[in-house]
Homo-oligomer: A and B are copies of this chain.
Amino acid sequence: MLPVNRFTQFIAQNNLFSADNKILAAVSGGMDSVVMAHLLKVAGFNFSIAHCNFQLRGDEAVGDQAFCNDLALQLRVPFHTINFDTVKYVSDNKVSTQMAARELRYQWFEQLRQQHDYSVIALAHHQNDAIETILLNLTRGTGIAGMHGILPKNGLLVRPLLFLTREEIQQIITDNRLAFVEDSSNASAKYARNKIRLEVIPKLKELNPNLESTFNHNLEHFRGLELLLQQKVAELKHELFIQHDEEIHIPLAKIKMLEPKRLLLFNLLQEYGFNETSIDDLISSLDKHSGRIFESAGFNLLLDRERLIISPNKTALIKPVQFTENTHEVDFGSYKLTLLHDDSPLIVKNNPMAASVDADLLQYPLTLRTWQQGDYFYPIGMRTRKKLSDFFIDQKVPLHEKNNIPLLVNANDELIWIGGYRPDDRYKVSKNTKKVTIFELIKK
């Protein structure tokens, strides 16, 4: 028997989704996601299965893909799948395989979500994943702020299996004779997690056989505290931040009264690109160095006599670059943009670092520049225009990173592509497209 009541109860209690939502279930084919898919089916939810092939394990991965396709057929739900060129993404973006897989996966899920109007993306993490993550985060020092990854709900990601332990999932698989494939994540990324799982947690379980439920309780406590912190920071912003045109002024007297000072100041200022070291510097300067300036990637922090003034760091702004059709490469901040012209309506898929555009719509010279107040565009797949500032908020782009995002702009001033994020719908490759230009961004 599947624990359908506990499943629906957990979903209701944590407000994950409801019977009229469309759910995208991420399924690797491993035990956890197979149990999630069966539970979603038996509980009567409206869901589809999405499976990624990272093309890192040859035939085995193709087998997993086929297995998931069969599962979708068996459960009679829609099936999405994709083949990623993970190796290329790694070398293009100079990230780890683990990070590449993560970025590719989440970008694709989000794309599917928007295209097919899914309400949430369901991931099959269970209680033991959560324990391992807490211990890993404590060990590596991301602290409890790094624990969003195991919240039942974090934005549009939901984790409806967090009420089950690994053992319970194994039991469900056995009892119900469910087919599954061996876990498909890559082994090296799992070194640290395996050490925690196989060497640390068994020792802790000798001290407390109910470790899972205890950690569940810890987790709820942390979650509550983290929520209080977020509330407090929002209150303080409202209370202390005074907007003067492009600047934000904060009365120094109020900053001196903050307690705990380091925690609150860091959470108030991190979105302007200031790290803990700058915050420590700032705190030790509060009583002595008026006139001191701290810099982040995009902002200056001026310690005035009576105020702290946050202002955009204009000198750090990347200068706009114009270029013509014959250009092959453009330098822009920490990126290089390449152009490739092709006489067929090629579409680049699932790579946010590249965009293929209908070449006939391009008016040269094109410009690469950073965002400006008032920018808007038509995100691909949408018929309505969106303010870029709102888009950045939706995408949770930190303020200081906004100034590093390359925007590809047509000679008519229309945005063609929010580099690394979203192409404009007006310039997409359509059935009438004859030729395309493919733009690709490469991190230097």
Interface residues of A (CB under 8 A from B): 134-136, 138-141, 143-145, 192, 195-196, 199-200, 203-204, 206-208, 211, 214-215, 217-218, 220-229, 231-232, 259-260, 262-264
12 A-B pairs (CB sep. < 8 Å) = A138-B214, A140-B208, A141-B208, A141-B214, A143-B218, A143-B221, A145-B221, A195-B207, A199-B203, A200-B200, A227-B259, A231-B259
Q: Is the CB of B218 within 8 A of A229?
A: no
Given contacts A206-B195, A227-B259, A221 and B144 within 8 Å (CB-CB):
yes
Among B203, B223, B232, B262, point to the contact of A260 (Cβ < 8 A).
Answer: B223
By a CB distance below 8 angstroms, the chain B residues around A134 are 138
Q: Is the CB of A143 within 8 A of B217?
A: yes
By a CB distance below 8 angstroms, the chain B residues around A226 are 225
CB nearest neighbor in B for A226: B225
- Number of this chain's copies in the assembly equals 2
Considering the chains assembled together, what is the distance between the CA atoms of A222 and B260 in angstroms?
Answer: 11
By a CB distance below 8 angstroms, the chain B residues around A217 are 141, 143
Chain B min CB distance to A64 (Å):
29
Considering the chains assembled together, what is the distance between the CA atoms of A204 and B134 in angstroms?
Answer: 13
Chain B min CB distance to A369 (Å):
39
Q: Is the CB of B260 within 8 A of A207?
A: no
Considering the chains assembled together, what is the distance between the CA atoms of A231 and B222 in angstroms?
Answer: 16
Considering the chains assembled together, what is the distance between the CA atoms of A260 and B232 in angstroms?
Answer: 13
By a CB distance below 8 angstroms, the chain B residues around A224 are 260, 262-264
Considering the chains assembled together, what is the distance between the CA atoms of A224 and B262 in angstroms?
Answer: 8
Considering the chains assembled together, what is the distance between the CA atoms of A217 and B275 in angstroms?
Answer: 14
Q: Is the CB of B207 within 8 A of A192?
A: yes
Q: A220-B263, A227-B260 are in contact. List 19 more A-B contacts (CB 8 A).
A: A139-B211, A140-B207, A141-B218, A143-B217, A143-B218, A144-B221, A144-B225, A145-B221, A196-B203, A200-B204, A203-B203, A220-B262, A224-B264, A225-B228, A227-B259, A228-B229, A228-B260, A228-B263, A231-B259
